[in-house]
Structure 1
Amino acid sequence: MSIQQTDVLYTAVATAENGRDGRVATDDGRLDVVVNPPKEMGGSGTGTNPEQLFAAGYSACFQGALGVVARQEKADISGSTVTAKVGIGKNDDGFGLIVEISASIPNVDEETARSLLKKAHEVCPYSKATRGNITVTLV
């Protein structure tokens, strides 16, 4: 379900110059990075790239969703980490993304961890935005 403009609590604003081989900065100046294609895609690999930025945002958002679910389930996720691996490759339409989300949740058993991940995947805004558009695997 979509949110309405009147329901927006915060809007991030970022501007790119020269696409994948340039610079990206937020309007508040908190993020200002050089972006370059990775060496695997023929670039210099000296800066960050959009896939790394997406992985950073997705992992942070998913960790937040995991916290929400853990509080509801009264599960201890202290010391947990979430890692997002974002791959880019050629597909029928040109290029596409694939994501793998993995988590280390040391204070719960494996069955509980899997359940928490599935529930977090249902509520995470990044997961909702990508659902049906790209393959996301939970590990």
Structure 2
Amino acid sequence: MEVNTNAIPRMLSNYEVHGLLKTYSAEMKTGKHKTGQHDQNLSTVSYEVLKYLENTPCVNQNAECIGSVCKGLMKYKLTKSEMLQIVNLRPTTPVEVSLIVEESEERLTEAQIDEIINLIKDTIPPGPGSEDKEDEDEEMEEEEEG
């Protein structure tokens, strides 16, 4: 993995970080890099981050679904960092959206928050072993009634 020191810094989604670390990990296994103390430390950090990311929605994402959700979110005039957090965290409740969007009470109506949640559910696949909170609530209600 070659580092471009002239690159313009930008925010990366968990999906992008996951891909970069998987590539780095594969290169380390094939011996493309000589291992020194620095590489051992980097390998440890990479392993821990990959381990964390494997349990997040990013493992089921692709560039297409990220582009689609970002395109859909444009009409709400969210900042780039708010959109990135939505992609990374995949909020499924109004509370989660309001925690991500700064001053959400002034900037978004309840209907818009519901639209955002539906957009997220329709375009971003959930993480491994997770169900949407709304689906869990419906299942619990059905069990209580039956």
Q: Shorter-normalised TM-score: what interval?
A: 0.3 to 0.5
TM (norm. structure 1) is 0.38
> Larger RCO: Structure 1 or Structure 2 (Cα < 8 Å, ≥ 6 residues apart)?
2
TM (norm. structure 2) is 0.37
Bigger Rg, which one: 2
Higher fraction of strand: 1
